[in-house]
Amino acid sequence: MTHALAIKNVTVSYHGRSAIEAIDLTLEQGNILGIIGPNGAGKSTLLKAILNLITIDSGSINILGGSLKENRNRIAYVPQRNQYDWDFPIHVMDAVLIGTYPSLGIFKRPKKSDKAWALECLEKVGLAQYANRQIGELSGGQQQRVFLARALAQKADLFFLDEPFVGIDIASEEMIVKLLKDLRDEGKTVVVVHHDLSKAKEYFDELLLLNKQLVQFGRPAEVLRPEVMRKAYESELAFLFEAGVS
Ligand SMILES: Nc1ncnc2c1ncn2[C@@H]1O[C@H](COP(=O)(O)OP(=O)(O)OP(=O)(O)O)[C@@H](O)[C@H]1O
């Protein structure tokens, strides 16, 4: 089976300062990977590099055995919630239907079957009854579930989510985790940028601990060891102690 991701020696910098350095990673399909690390560790940068949203200085990134361009239709991306304009007037159903556009073509009207599939995806996230609401009227957790429904509508094989649990209620978080595990059980791959370490063991099959460089990659039990975590969080802890927080 081809790898979900094969990242070789990837470095990215902004204005001459490196944000991630020499990252190597091979991820098998059928896993949920959590990308963790302190603030400014380069987690979002790595995700953007994989998705070709920023240019890499060096290295190579292979997705599902090919380039991003070749596999674009097999990839779904849920950005951070704060990257959306929630006042933009769009119905929940239409937001999900956008997920079917790769097969639909952007100027074609959705068919009955597209609408039925979008509704099914909304059902999976428990929001079918909100199909005709404006998206701005929903709670943060519901909005995040709509965007997961949109990703599901895409029928992707590889899902990327950037901080999906920030500012959402616990019921939505649990529902999203369950859906991600269902996707994994179907053989799909899920990559999540995440900063709350307390649930990391429960949520992820693999963890990538980042602090500009790759500190550790492996099973949560291997990565979440104090001596490993200290390597990544040392400077953050030193800062907190200096600031008088204990
Ligand atoms: N557009 C940009 N221009 C310049 N520097 C940037 C830009 N985006 C990120 N950086 C810098 O690159 C480094 C990595 O940032 P990044 O957002 O990838 O980290 P992160 O681990 O996702 O952080 P956080 O957990 O705080 O969201 C940081 O030092 C950040 O200030």
Q: What value does the mean pLDDT take over residues 151-177?
A: 91
Please provide the average confidence, as pLDDT, over all residues in the chain.
88
Q: Which tokens is 87 given?
A: 């006042």
| Most informative mutation of 11, 21, 44 for ligand 1 (most atoms within 8 A of CB) | 44
Give pLDDT tens digits for 88-122.
Answer: 678 899 889 877 765 555 556 777 888 899 999 99
CB of residue 41 inside a 6 A radius of ligand 1: yes
ipTM score above 0.90: yes
Of residues 97 and 4, the one with the higher pLDDT is 4
Q: Which domains does the chain have, with CATH numbers?
A: 5-242 (3.40.50.300)
CB of residue 48 inside a 6 A radius of ligand 1: no
Distance between CA atoms of 94 and 101, rounded to whole angstroms?
11
Give pLDDT tens digits for 223-237.
Answer: 999 889 988 887 666
| Alpha carbon distances (Å) from 81 to 71, 88, 165 | 25, 13, 9
Give pLDDT tens digits for 43-82.
Answer: 999 999 999 999 999 999 999 999 998 998 899 998 887 7
Nearest atom, ligand 1, residue 15 CA: 4
pTM of the model: 0.90
- Rounded to the nearest angstrom, the distance between the alpha carbon of 242 and the centre of ligand 1 is 23
Q: What is the DSSP string of 157-189?
A: SEEEEESTTTT--HHHHHHHHHHHHHHHHTT-E
CB of residue 43 inside a 6 A radius of ligand 1: yes
